[in-house]
Structure formats: C-alpha cells, structure tokens
Amino acid sequence: YRPKGEVEELRANHDCIKIFRQRVTEAGVLTDAELDAVDQEVAALIERSVQEAKAAPPCEPEDLLTDVYVSY
C-alpha cells in the first residue's frame, strides 16, 4: 500500500547505481566515459551469454535439480 508516485520517486531519486555514478564522478575517481565503457562491456557480456544459452542444447532431465540448494 504505497502512495501514488512513491515508486517512481524512489526510482528517480534513490537508485543506488545513479547515486554511485554521481559520487564517483564528483570525486574524480571515474569519468562518465569510463562508466559508460563499463556499461557497454557488461551489456555485451550479457548479450553473449544469452546467445550462448539459447544455442546450447537442452539439459537432461536428471540435471534439472543439480546445484539447487533447497530440498523439497
């Protein structure tokens, strides 16, 4: 039960990544260009990973619960 506009306000003014970007650029630790390069590198890595996953053969049924850390 949130007031109307609360989520939008939180996204606009309390986004951790936006705050980090602002602080490191103001402190002169990183430039906007360096952060943009990181963003592009991460986007490319995600895209490659998605393409590899789509191209991979389906897993075997017995592997579906491998490395799942909860028991039912």
Number of domains in the chain: 1
- 68 lies in some domain: no
- 65 lies in some domain: no
In whole angstroms, give the CA distance from residue 50 to residue 69.
23
Compute φ and ψ for 57, nearest 5 degrees. Answer: -70, 155
Structural domain for 25, as ranges:
6-55
In whole angstroms, give the CA distance from residue 21 to residue 29.
10
- 43 lies in some domain: yes
Distance set, CA 13 to CA 7, 9, 23, 31 (Å) = 10, 6, 14, 21
- 61 lies in some domain: no
Q: Would you state the pLDDT for residue 32?
A: 96
Per-block mean pLDDT, blocks of 10 residues, the chain (72 long):
89 92 97 97 98 94 82 60
Long-range contacts of 14-19 (CB under 8 A, 24+ apart): none
- 32 lies in some domain: yes
Q: Would you state the pLDDT for residue 1?
A: 79
